[in-house]
A = this chain, B = another copy of it.
Amino acid sequence: MRDEAPRAVTAICRALQEQIERGLLPCGSQLPAERKLSEVFDTTRITLREALGQLEAQGLIYREERRGWFVSPPRLAYNPLVRSHFHAMVGEQGRVPATEVLSARLMPASAEICQLLELPALSSVYQIRRARRIDGRLVLYVEHYLNPAYFPGILDFDLTLSLTDLYASEYGIHYGRVRFDMVPTALHPEAAAALKVAPGSPALRIVRINRDQHGRLIDCDLEFWRHDALHVSVEVPD
């Protein structure tokens, strides 16, 4: 028994990790209360919470605001080179997608959006804010900004459906070139609230700038994914 013990935090991490990997704590199951766990590991709640925080950073567990800690489900495979929308992508991987519309309106574009869509200053844009789930779990907060010139009256449609499909069926517009920008960062307060997680949780921010079949900038998406909800795969041809 050496004095050189591993840090309490890493010891707790290892113990929990093992339990999860052996399937004693199945995917989606809830962990015991923080106070219980701190008793089990004979430590402070602060220390215990730091261990949980590290497992969260690894993506092994996640928390729901004020509800508790849960074992993370598998990540979704996200391939930017394959043109697919959320519902199709999730469904193909044997999971159940869901979408809710948080807001949808015509609004003055921010400077950032004007730049992304190459619009003149003080332009108006359609903004659609949505939250999306996989198997019931909130994983994605998106803000869509559409150039209104191409999509008159789009707010009257059912916006819980795929925008891709709406573009095609109602406006004859298909995606052409797309630009992705992926940045590991933290959720800003608005996104955190929508996903019902602690503000500042780690996240993957994906900015998509979409052109149509004629090369026209039609819209852009600001996506905020829970960092543990996806892995990005890219197959680069020769």
Contacts and interface: CB of A to CB of B under 8 A. Distances in A.
Contacts of A181: 231-233
A218 to B, nearest CB: 13
A230 B137 CA distance: 28
A163 interface: no
Contacts of A236: 80-81, 177-180
Interface residues of A, number: 39
Contact of A186 (B58, B200, B204, B237): B58
A202 B58 CA distance: 8
A234 B202 CA distance: 21
Interface in A171-188: 176-186
A235 interface: yes
B179 A233 contact: yes
A151 to B, nearest CB: 20
Contact of A232 (B182, B186, B202): B182
A189 interface: yes
Number of copies: 2
Contacts of A227: 184-185, 202
A110 interface: no
Nearest to A234: B180
B184 A202 contact: yes
A73 interface: no
Contacts of A182: 182, 231-234
Contact of A184 (B204, B234, B235): B204
A145 B183 CA distance: 27
24 contacts: A10-B199, A13-B200, A46-B46, A54-B199, A57-B200, A58-B185, A59-B183, A80-B234, A81-B234, A81-B236, A176-B238, A177-B235, A177-B237, A179-B234, A179-B236, A180-B235, A181-B231, A181-B233, A182-B232, A183-B232, A184-B184, A184-B202, A184-B228, A185-B228
Which 9 pairs from chain A and chain B are nearest by CB? A54-B200, A184-B227, A57-B186, A182-B232, A180-B234, A183-B231, A178-B236, A58-B186, A176-B238
